[in-house]
């Protein structure tokens, strides 16, 4: 019995042990390199253990935690993301010097939250893992070093935290309503018992409030306002983390809850449509005028959250798996962009679009990574962004949301404008040779760039098996027991 438990719970155990080891390292001062090495080993072990346990199935902790194909491939995605973020962090120069090892500790704790999130099928485990994943991120933002011309990190942290806690409160209040209606905290049971009463005011209020809390994490339009400020104020590595992991986590929970509504639920579809359209237009239009690259990505995140909602408008398996596929791809595209940002930046400063001028001469590999990341975000074939958008549009179109699909396509065109500005800057822009020093890349950065490019292309050229796999694994989540 204990053996089965370990087989199912291996990734979590590995991660917990690794985080404890990092904790021990942080007890001593000036151990950044060691903290990073331990984290790197943990992340690698996590990826391997996820691969080992990919096929295991179990329900642990009295039905609060389910290990199945769905949860395991998500953990795998998180694990690869973790690995990428550590490599991206290098020696985290932009974190206050005395607390640099703690960067890796908090990163590890946050990752624990995400990994637990993938398997949580009970409101209690869900809330705990959600908070576990988000609190360390608040602290990571505040840990950026303070210096001349860089004083906004505390402000970002306060905004991030205040809105984050408010969103938590809203979500918990919504969950309490859902619990009151269904008298269970188990999400599959909750979803099942909600179906007869879904049009009642209490159910709508509960679902609406719960979703509002999750939309905050995803940065959907009316809950988006923290995104650009936090991206700008956080150090480059931290912004990379915040831009990637929480989005996938939020989509996972949304999928678990969205199964409560059937596709022909008019009201929910309409609300989601409005939110999707508003976020796409808002994000893309404001991104047009941004100069700071991280702010630009912040607004583009809002637009991407809008695209993701297309899958939820469809409210069927095809839509959900398209959303998950898109977000998994998004994780890697956005990480690719942040690798470039953190390497181009001088001494950890924020990067403006002009700073990319002449990048192809300073470092061809970085320029290539940037272009592929941006093309993927813009939705240009053959990268994962294109196939993801295509799947999303397909799912929405199959359900007859033609207007929405047209609006989404228009938005893709708007977005192409500012994405191409970035590409133009890194490949064609030339500036007088004030800062044209070539950027030296160490081996791990090269490996990271190549790895991310490979993932973005691989996911993009072989969408069918991936989406099929997601759909199969979704069966256990969406199918009402």
Partner 1 sequence: MPETQQTDLIYVAAFALLGLLFAIGPFVLVYLLSARKTRQTINKRDQYIECGVDPIGDAWIRYSAVYYLYALVFVAFAVDVLYLVPVAMVYDRVFPVRDFVELIIFVGILSLVIVYAWKKGVFKWTRRAPARQPSRIPSPQPNERQTTAA
Partner 2 sequence: MSALPTATLPTVLAAASAVGLQHYIALAALLFAIGFVGVLIRRNTLVVYMSLELMLNAAILATVAFTRYNGTVEGNVFVFFIITVAAAEVAVGLAIIVALFRKRHSVDVGDLATLNN
For position 165 contacting partner 2 by CB under 8 A, the verdict is yes
- Cβ proximity of 291 and 444 under 8 Å: no
Considering the complex, what minimum distance in angstroms separates the CB of residue 469 from partner 2?
Answer: 33
The partner in contact with residue 176, picked from partner 2, partner 1, none with C-beta cut-offs of 5 to 8 angstroms by kind, is partner 2
The tokens describing 98, both together, are 């005395």
The partner in contact with residue 156, picked from partner 2, partner 1, none with C-beta cut-offs of 5 to 8 angstroms by kind, is partner 2
For partner 2, the closer of residues 16 and 124 by Cβ is 124
For position 221 contacting partner 2 by CB under 8 A, the verdict is no
How far is the C-alpha of 213 from the C-alpha of 114, rounded, in Å? 16
For position 233 contacting partner 2 by CB under 8 A, the verdict is yes
Considering the complex, what minimum distance in angstroms separates the CB of residue 295 from partner 2?
Answer: 8
Which stretches of 99-198 are DSSP H helices?
Answer: 100-119, 123-142, 153-182, 187-194
Per-residue binding string, partner 1, 20-39, x by CB under 8 A, is ---x--xxx-----------
Reduced to 3 states, what is the DSSP secondary structure of residue 321? helix
Nearest to 428 by CA among 358, 366, 371: 358
Nearest to 193 by CA among 205, 180, 176, 174: 180
Considering the complex, what minimum distance in angstroms separates the CB of residue 22 from partner 2?
Answer: 19
Nearest to 103 by CA among 188, 36, 6, 13: 36
Considering the complex, what minimum distance in angstroms separates the CB of residue 149 from partner 2?
Answer: 11
Per-residue binding string, partner 2, 264-303, x by CB under 8 A, is ----------------------x-----------------
How far is the C-alpha of 140 from the C-alpha of 233, rounded, in Å? 11
For position 170 contacting partner 2 by CB under 8 A, the verdict is yes
- Cβ proximity of 87 and 448 under 8 Å: yes
The tokens describing 320, both together, are 């959900």
For position 60 contacting partner 2 by CB under 8 A, the verdict is no
- Cβ proximity of 153 and 233 under 8 Å: yes
How many Cβ atoms from other residues are within 10 Å of residue 348's Cβ?
17
The partner in contact with residue 168, picked from partner 1, partner 2, none with C-beta cut-offs of 5 to 8 angstroms by kind, is partner 2
| Contact residues for partner 2, defined by CB under 8 A | 123-124, 127-128, 131, 135, 138-139, 142, 146, 151-152, 154-159, 161-162, 165-166, 168-170, 172-173, 175-177, 179-180, 183-185, 228-229, 232-233, 286
């Amino acid at each position: 019995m204990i053996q089965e438990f370990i087989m199912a719970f291996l990734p979590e155990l590995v991660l917990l042990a690794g985080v404890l080891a990092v904790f021990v390292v942080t007890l001593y001062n000036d151990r950044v390199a060691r903290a990073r090495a331990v984290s790197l080993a943990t992340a690698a072990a996590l990826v391997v253990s996820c691969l080992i346990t990919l096929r295991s199935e179990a329900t642990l902790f009295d039905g609060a935690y389910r290990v199945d194909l769905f949860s395991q491939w998500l953990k795998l995605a998180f694990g690869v993301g973790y690995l990428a973020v550590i490599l991206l962090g290098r020696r985290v120069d932009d974190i206050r010097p005395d607390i640099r090892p703690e960067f890796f500790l908090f990163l590890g704790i946050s990752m624990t939250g995400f990994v637990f999130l993938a398997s949580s099928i009970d409101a209690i485990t869900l809330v705990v893992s959600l908070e576990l994943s988000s609190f360390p991120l608040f602290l990571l933002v505040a840990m950026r070093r303070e210096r001349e011309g860089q004083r906004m990190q505390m402000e970002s942290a306060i905004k991030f935290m205040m809105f984050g806690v408010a969103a938590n409160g809203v979500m918990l209040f919504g969950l309490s309503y859902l619990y009151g209606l269904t008298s269970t905290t188990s999400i599959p049971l909750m979803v099942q018992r909600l179906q007869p009463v879904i049009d009642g005011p209490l159910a709508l209020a509960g679902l609406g409030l719960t979703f509002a809390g999750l939309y905050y994490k995803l940065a959907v339009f009316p809950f988006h306002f923290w995104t650009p400020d936090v991206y700008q104020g956080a150090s480059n590595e931290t912004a990379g983390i915040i831009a990637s992991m929480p989005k996938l986590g939020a989509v996972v929970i949304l999928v678990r809850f969205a199964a409560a509504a059937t596709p022909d639920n008019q009201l929910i579809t309409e609300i989601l449509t409005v939110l999707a359209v508003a976020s796409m237009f808002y994000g893309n239009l404001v991104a047009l005028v941004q100069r700071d690259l991280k702010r630009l990505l912040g607004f583009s995140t809002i637009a991407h959250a809008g695209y993701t909602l297309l899958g939820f408008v469809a409210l069927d398996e095809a839509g959900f798996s398209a959303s998950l596929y898109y977000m998994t791809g998004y994780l890697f595209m956005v990480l690719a962009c942040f690798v470039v940002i953190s390497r181009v930046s001088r001494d950890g400063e924020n990067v403006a679009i002009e700073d990319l001028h002449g990048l192809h001469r300073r470092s061809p590999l970085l320029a290539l990574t940037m272009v592929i990341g941006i093309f993927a975000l813009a939705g240009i074939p053959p990268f994962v962004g294109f196939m993801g958008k295509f799947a999303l549009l397909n799912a929405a179109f199959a359900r007859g949301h033609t207007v929405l699909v047209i609006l989404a396509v228009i938005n893709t065109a708007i977005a192409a404008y500012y994405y191409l500005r970035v590409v133009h800057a890194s490949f064609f822009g030339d500036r007088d040779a004030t800062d044209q020093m070539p950027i030296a890349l160490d081996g791990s950065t090269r490996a990271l760039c190549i790895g991310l490019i490979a993932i973005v292309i691989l996911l993009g050229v072989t969408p069918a098996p991936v989406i099929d796999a997601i759909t199969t694994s979704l069966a256990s989540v969406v199918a009402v027991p």
